[in-house]
Amino acid sequence: MKLIVCVCDYSRRRHFYNRPLPDRIQVLSSGEGNNQAKIKTVRRLQLELDAVIGNYVLREVLQQQVLHDLLLHDLGVQLLWLAFRPPERLAIDYKWADMLAHTICRHIELEQLMCWLSTLGGGYSALGDQFEGCAQAAGQISLQQLTIGLRLGDPFVQARCKLYYSISLIQRGQLRRAKFLIRAQYRFACGEHKKHDRRLVHMCLGIWQRLCYEYEQRQRRRLIGKSK
């Protein structure tokens, strides 16, 4: 038998824990064709507690078997009724607030750094068609953005950074590496995340068209070279 715990919140709504199946009606006796039924009663212990303290009590009762056995077997309590009232003074978790503020500030700084690198990488990528050094610099910036994306933990940011790097590979003539990289990101975009970021799908398709164009130009140069 388990100890039933009922929590009554501020709105007088009841939340039950360890409640058994609703089999509470027993037939006690029968006479002249009429059955007499009675609802089984349970011994209840009712406590009105501060909501903060009450949550600690609730956790201890549900997790500590010793306290559970003490209430159920030694004291004979079958239903523990916890009525929560608003705390007189709200407790502020300053340690958690500091950790959260530090995480948010760090996230904002990384986002700003990502924006600056995107602007700088776009400039180098625009010049990468004419100058190989600019294409290589754009690729290094994309790798730095990927490092930031890994720290942010956002898979969509990581996928976009890999696509930026594939553009640098195309500009440097490494078409095979770019092909596998674009295909991997397209499979990711068309998977379970397709509804979340359609822009990633369009990016893959656009860069793939650029890759196909470079393959056509390479094949044309080979044919011209053979004809000579």
Q: pLDDT tens digits for the chain (228 residues)?
A: 678 888 988 888 888 888 765 554 333 333 444 444 455 677 888 888 888 888 888 888 888 888 888 888 888 888 888 898 888 877 777 888 899 998 898 888 888 888 888 888 888 888 887 888 888 898 888 888 888 888 888 888 888 889 899 999 998 888 999 999 999 999 888 876 556 678 888 889 999 999 999 999 888 888 887 776
Torsion over CA: 84, 89, 95, 99 (sign): positive
From its phi and psi, is residue 71 left (phi > 0), alpha (psi between -120 and 50) or beta? alpha
Q: Is pTM beyond 0.85 here?
A: no
Q: What is the structure's pLDDT at 196? A: 65
Q: Indicate the DSSP class of residue 190.
A: T
Q: Indicate the DSSP class of residue 73.
A: I
SS3 99: helix
Q: What is the structure's pLDDT at 3? A: 84
Q: What is the structure's pLDDT at 30? A: 38
Q: What is the structure's pLDDT at 33? A: 46
Asked if residue 81 and residue 175 are part of one domain, the reply reads no
Structural domains in the chain (count): 2
Residue 172 is assigned to a structural domain of this protein: yes
Residue 90 is assigned to a structural domain of this protein: no
Asked if residue 37 and residue 128 are part of one domain, the reply reads no
Q: Which of 42, 66, 85 is the last residue of a domain?
A: 85
Asked if residue 213 and residue 104 are part of one domain, the reply reads yes
- How far is 146 from 148, CA to CA, in rounded Å? 5
Which residue is listed with tokens 């976009």? Answer: 160
Q: Which residues contact residue 212 at a Cβ distance below 8 angstroms, ignoring those fewer than 6 apart?
A: none
- The number of beta carbons lying within 10 Å of the beta carbon of residue 167 is 23
Asked if residue 221 and residue 170 are part of one domain, the reply reads yes
Residue 9 is assigned to a structural domain of this protein: yes
Asked if residue 203 and residue 114 are part of one domain, the reply reads yes
Instruction: Determine contact, residues 164/125, Cβ cutoff 8 Å.
Output: yes
Asked if residue 67 and residue 124 are part of one domain, the reply reads no
In one-letter notation, the amino acid at residue 125 is S
Asked if residue 100 and residue 148 are part of one domain, the reply reads yes
What's the CATH code of the domain at 176? 1.25.40
Asked if residue 64 and residue 163 are part of one domain, the reply reads no
Which one, of 142, 140, 152, 144, lies nearest residue 111 by Cα? 152
- How far is 146 from 135, CA to CA, in rounded Å? 17
Residue 91 is assigned to a structural domain of this protein: no
Q: Which of 32, 50, 85 is the last residue of a domain?
A: 85
Supply the range of the domain harboring residue 40: 4-85
Asked if residue 81 and residue 121 are part of one domain, the reply reads no
Asked if residue 123 and residue 223 are part of one domain, the reply reads yes
Which one, of 223, 226, 217, 211, lies nearest residue 169 by Cα? 211
Residue 141 is assigned to a structural domain of this protein: yes
